[in-house]
Chains A and B, each alone.
Chain A
């Protein structure tokens, strides 16, 4: 019981730190709330999907920005999707970079775009790491027979 409690506290602390640091926002809560018995893996599914999509988008962006003649429409499409998906799961900081990314490619500022891409990668991998840690914690709690605490 202590273990579970400890794990749960750890989980809550960790999750709160994610909110505090602005890595996640309320939307993540919304996602969590959507998870229920009928759909016990919902958060995991969505986040995994987010990882897949994001990595594909990052890859596409890197290619698009590496061209001799950058097709900013393509960049726009990618960033827009990225923004949509990141805001859907509440990856706030990733989303914010998408916003500043947009000002860069609107201005056709390649240098800025590359900088944004790097930031995007950094933020994405950061949030990915954190989320994976979070899921690990969840797994541990579940494995110990505990219940995932609900925040908010």
Chain B
């Protein structure tokens, strides 16, 4: 038992030892230290010794207040107290444990003592006087809170007293008493020791440090660490009271002394941007009681422009009131700057990217456009060229010897080819407009001429009994500027449409000026009997101008020999028009003067009306859609691609106008388009008369025509049209049959050139020209030939030509002058032979017939030449050509035809030549260096129209002589103002280049290579007086 006790004691003491160790300072402070991230509390003192705490400005009174009153302060204190209490509690526990063990020991000792007393009562009695009852442990027990420091010296040696003497002898008892005595002494000794220990313990306790001291030590340590950590940080830490006066501020880089800050507010300390804001922010936090962060940029004299990230938290009193704010600011100027830079960069990148996208988009669009253009080019090349090849080959084939059946097949082939060509042109036009490739040209033209010509053309191919009429009001300018080609295309399209869907009655064009383009109403169109049509917003402005121009031009050409349609027209005009039939100039001038010269843009409305089948209301909305016709049955019945109106609409819109329709089923339709035109202010009134005068010589009917043009009204009656224009017309056969020509081919032949190009002379293929030429010469023969066989002598292949020629003849019959002009082709017998050679006429009879004709022709020539330069002997011919071989060949051919030519090598020289001298005809190559034929022609035409060379000078042509010189001589002036026939010579026999030629003011063109026949035909057509 004693051993056990002993063990227990040992265990205990060890435990106690450990406890004591664990309660030592460094261990203990760990708890606090963790809060401050103190790792080596032992070392910190040294490290912090160097730290200077200057930058701290403290209002200590406030700190005391704070720790006392603020919650934060008190919680901090209570934390410290708690840890101290914990420590003390630990110590108490240890002491208690020690006390327990001591009291156990004491109990044991007492028990033993009692035992002994029981055993030796006797002796005790005996020696009772010696006995001193001492409570060894009582004293110990009373000591509280003593931290036991030792253990082993408290060990009790329990020894049973060994008595050697025999039991119950005196000696035995003596020995026993002595032994007990010793034990007692030992016990007393222990008591003494315990007392001492207690004393010591108490002293220790007293020596132990007070909690305040400990706390302040902890605080100092934390404080030092804080300073250590913060010493280089760009932060400002502060506390402000509820008036926002600084009570504490820590700033590593102070610019102000303590006394300048403490007790003042921000606003009192600095001035400048951001100060007010920060103060307001703090106040806000103060009021709302919620911590917040904000970035504030200061702009102060004190430290310049700096941005601080400010953290402000409210400080509450124990009662929950805010009594101030803690404030921490960090200088983030660099970061902000970087951030701003980043933002800027990002913005720039975004802009860059947007630009890139935009660029890519436009590149894409450009590529698309390019591709579209490429597509168009390919289309035109890949389809049109070979097709043109097929058609022209077929045409050439038609000139060879064929039997009747072959010829018929060929004519079908030709007309189909033409149809396909036309279709492809339509599609190309449409896609050109849609892809924005379509280029509009601005050229001067005469609306009246255009209208007239379109009607003539239509009349020429008319196969129905219809009246075609054109009305042009007086206020429509004689000349306007626009894209005549496109306008004519629109008109032709609309007219042919109208004719197609009209079986009886009339088809017409009306042009008039809109003074208020927006105010136009539907139903204005004249001659249209139905005014209550279905609503169609009529918006279009019309362009009469375009129309009329081509008209007059075409007239000219027509009279020169090709246009059959004109004849009836002229006759009719003659009847109706009361104006001076021969002249020209006066009336024109009169008309012109009516226009306000200052007007620069004029809106002209054009109504194309018919009395046809009309358009059902439900079809109106889709009428202008591509491939759309009024109805499936319509399409079947009338054919067509349904592209025409779509093209018209697109073209009109492209030119800035509008195309609308109004219609009543079974009554008719009116297509109206309104277009703006520029009016050239320079009105050259003398232009017209000259031009017309030029023509007067050929045909009296010409004069009528001119007058028609100016009067603004044309009418093509079915009766007069019949014989010439319509294959089915009864009149035609009457007229033609006497001559015994095959008629079947007439219509196709006539129709083709007129449809494909607006000018009668504009047959696009060499063959056409050849045909006409041939026809003329042949006609001459046939006319004079008394025998009907003479006409039959030509194989069927010649029918077309013959019929054309015959029309001339017919016409000639009525008007001897015209006939003679045809005859002029054979001026000399030599040339006559030539003609016959070339045309392979081997009939000697015909040859014989030539002679008298020639004689007659020369007579008539002289009669005619009132207005033609007196020098009838030789026409002045200008050849503009840059290729030597072509020049030589052409010169040689001309020589064969009996003509001398003047040769220049490019457009500039051509303009100069025209400027310095008069020519009767110009042959113009198209592609030349310096200036091409088209431009040269435009310049020459511009001179003819305006009477001055300004356009040419503007184009860079330099004249040797001042242009005014030419005006000093009246004669020269007058003659130079004539419209010189200009014949293009081009290797591109496609219709497109023909269009280009006409659009630029050329009268006709000869395909290259130039042949004698072509040349001869040209002379015949344009210089009849010289042949």
Contact = CB atoms under 8 A, between A and B. Distances in A.
Q: Do A and B originate from a single complex? A: yes
Interface of A: 26-27, 30-31, 33-34, 36, 38-39, 42, 45-46, 49-50, 53, 77, 80-81, 83-85, 87-90, 103, 106
Interface string B868-885: 000000000000001111
Contact of A46 (B888, B895, B927, B929): B888
Interface stretch (B164-172, B446-454, B998-1006, B1008-1016): B1008-1016
A42 B987 contact: no
A88 B892 contact: no
A50 B889 CA distance: 11
Given A49-B885, A49-B888, A89-B885, A30 B1009 contact: yes
Given A83-B987, A84-B885, A103-B381, 15 more contacts: A27-B1009, A33-B896, A33-B1012, A34-B893, A45-B888, A46-B888, A80-B927, A81-B882, A84-B925, A85-B884, A85-B885, A87-B987, A88-B886, A88-B1009, A106-B377
B1011 A39 contact: no
B1009 A50 contact: no
19 contacts: A30-B893, A31-B889, A34-B893, A34-B895, A39-B892, A39-B895, A42-B892, A46-B885, A49-B884, A81-B882, A85-B883, A85-B884, A87-B1009, A88-B889, A88-B1008, A88-B1010, A89-B889, A90-B1009, A103-B381
Contacts of A42: 892
What are the 4 A-B residue pairs with the smallest beta carbon separation, nearest first? Answer: A85-B885, A34-B892, A87-B1009, A84-B883
B901 to A, nearest CB: 14
B886 A85 contact: yes
A49 B661 CA distance: 61
A49 B889 CA distance: 11
Contact of A50 (B885, B892, B895): B885
The number of chain B residues touching the other chain, given as a range, is 20 to 34
Contacts of B888: 45-46, 49
Query: Main SS of the interface on chain A?
Result: helix
Given A80-B927, A87-B987, A106-B377, A46 B889 contact: yes
B946 to A, nearest CB: 32
A50 B381 CA distance: 29
Contacts of A88: 883, 885-886, 889, 1008-1010
Contacts of B1012: 30, 33-34
A87 B896 CA distance: 20
A52 B187 CA distance: 154
Nearest to B1012: A30
B542 to A, nearest CB: 38
Nearest to B884: A49
Interface of B: 377, 381, 882-886, 888-889, 892-893, 895-896, 925, 927, 929, 987, 1008-1012
Which among B893, B929, B987 has the greatest number of chain A C-beta atoms within 10 A? B987
B266 to A, nearest CB: 72
A82 B367 CA distance: 33
A81 B888 CA distance: 14
A143 to B, nearest CB: 25
A36 B1012 CA distance: 15
Given A27-B1011, A46-B889, A53-B885, A84 B896 contact: no
Nearest to B377: A106
A39 B987 CA distance: 27
A34 B889 contact: yes
Contacts of A89: 885, 889
B400 to A, nearest CB: 12
Nearest to B381: A103
A42 B884 CA distance: 14
Contacts of B927: 80
B1008 A87 contact: yes
Nearest to B927: A80
A77 B1011 CA distance: 23
Contacts of B892: 34, 39, 42, 46
Contacts of B889: 30-31, 34, 46, 88-89
A80 B883 CA distance: 10
Q: Which of A49, A81, A83, A88 has the most CB of B within 10 A?
A: A88
Contacts of A46: 885, 888-889, 892
Contacts of B883: 53, 81, 84-85, 88
Determine which residue in B381, B882, B886, B893 has the highest number of CB atoms from chain A within 10 A of its CB, and name it: B886
Contacts of B884: 49, 53, 85
A12 B652 CA distance: 60
A27 B927 CA distance: 21
Contacts of A84: 883, 885-886, 925, 987, 1008
A81 B457 CA distance: 36
Contacts of B925: 84
A46 B889 CA distance: 7
A34 B896 contact: yes
B10 to A, nearest CB: 109
Given A49-B884, A87-B987, A77 B929 contact: yes
Contacts of B1008: 84, 87-88
A110 B871 CA distance: 54
A36 B895 CA distance: 11
Most chain A CB neighbours (cut-off 10 Å) among B882, B888, B1010: B888
Contacts of A85: 883-886
A89 to B, nearest CB: 6
Nearest to A77: B929
A49 B1009 CA distance: 16
A30 B1011 contact: yes
Nearest to B382: A103
A38 B377 CA distance: 48
Contacts of A36: 896
Nearest to B888: A46
A25 to B, nearest CB: 9
A103 B538 CA distance: 45
Contacts of A33: 896, 1012
Contacts of A90: 1009
A137 to B, nearest CB: 22
Nearest to B893: A34
A54 B704 CA distance: 53
A1 B883 CA distance: 42
A39 B889 CA distance: 12
Max chain B C-beta neighbours (<10 A), residue from A30, A38, A49, A80:
A30
A42 B895 CA distance: 12
Contacts of B886: 84-85, 88
Contacts of A30: 889, 893, 1009, 1011-1012
B1008 to A, nearest CB: 6
Nearest to B1010: A88
Contacts of A39: 892, 895
A88 B885 CA distance: 7
Contacts of B929: 77
A88 B834 CA distance: 20
Contacts of B885: 46, 49-50, 53, 84-85, 88-89
Contacts of A81: 882-883
Nearest to A28: B1009
A38 B898 CA distance: 13
